[in-house]
Structure 1
């Protein structure tokens, strides 16, 4: 059962990694573009996963096989190669940080925030996604057994994320809130869940084609919510919500909007984005901790990401999917 490939979604993924690289290597005062990039990834992930589970009704086993083939080979190869580098160069290895990243729970156990030894801090976002995939598959099982309504279920957990986010914001100091608690799955999963909820609701109510200028305007309005003086819940829920709405509105967008997002280079960057995301953290830390030149750090991050895509991520995904298809 093959997924329908949509070019402009690859372009959206390309924008996500570009925003993240800007945030890490060319920071713009006032807005954390690194987080913007992650939230772009989250809303796309929710859109795609809910389409698979609740519209295409992909079998749960197949869903997990695809997620494993897509994420695990590149992820664990990245961890192994970093450990090998640390071992060969005599650097201290923090096994606790490594274990937390391996188990996809370092968004709850990140090590000493701001002073982590291993370049695995960015795995927090993969942890959020993995946890949310499990939640969505549990909902899918209940929906397929007709125990619950899918919109009610996803809407309820989305609302719970908002309630918990507001409670955390009221009761915890800003530093702990943004750099620890806001990485927890019960909060950051909102982008994944809300985007999926919009997709499901819009199966009944179609968004009309909006004027061309509305689409960039929505993204700019979302970016404005990320300004440093804006309360964190505004960024985390309204800003992310605007990104989710924009993504879901693309299916009925004017042709020129889809054409821009389907630009060949942007699409290609989107295809490489997961592997680039994995490897950029190594050179982001080398840039900020060790003074590696900015452009050299960026080039090395992109080069290693592309190499990972062609040598590990893409061939292993095809190999595993082909093997699992034959065994069925």
Structure 2
């Protein structure tokens, strides 16, 4: 039934067929050792992801729905439709799917270094998430979201941006993943939903109240990720006071009270330049504005970031040149 539904969409032109390979159930059984528990990479609300090896030696990730119901299967089909339209280096690549099983199976490129959430909230001695890495990952995610909102064939709203949906590849570059609840919409259209989707702690409060999801809702979630990268704290924590259990609220209160450096992650304080940290913190505040109309677009975020980096690099070059000139004068 679900396979027929997907086949119908494949033939309707909604899915870019040239990019989607159809795998057999035999292929994926063999690739995952019959979906062995030893091959499980992760589990979430939509399904379980297994590590697999194809007959040509490629390592892949295979996503299988947990629950056989229309909603879950619909999300899988939606993910195929969305990802078949996307070509971006910072978005996880869908390689294909299988229609022969009870629910469709999705096959992705394998991203080896886990999720951003793991590195922020469970740091280890072997690998350190430096300030420069945090900044680069944030810039890459901003670029991916800007592309989804402004440069894809139709604007695409992710609807579940969070640090656990940002994967890191072999070079620790960001790959935005999990498009099951995403939507492709007409330009200037707001997506009205009867059921609010997303993750508590990242949810746009405006969307929560109105059920109207816009591109600015993704901007809010991105702001929470920025706050995570800056502070190293979880989006929701019972360890904080009741009014500050939400990281967004805690972060905004700290900024309002001019205490941002009191809550920063120790690695950020150790590595980062105050000027750049302050700029990123101010950007997070703009993204976390309670009113969507006052938030920047992701395109504006990406452009502002490029301009800021260029200005900062020029300033640093000028300072180095000035210091060299001062040294030359002293020598004379």
Common fold by TM > 0.5: no
Decide which structure has the larger Cα Rg and report it. 2
More strand by share: 2
Larger relative CO (CA 8 A, sep 6+): 1 or 2?
1
Q: TM class, shorter-chain normalised?
A: under 0.3
Give the helix-richer structure, 1 or 2: 1
| TM-score of the two chains, using structure 2 as the length reference | 0.26
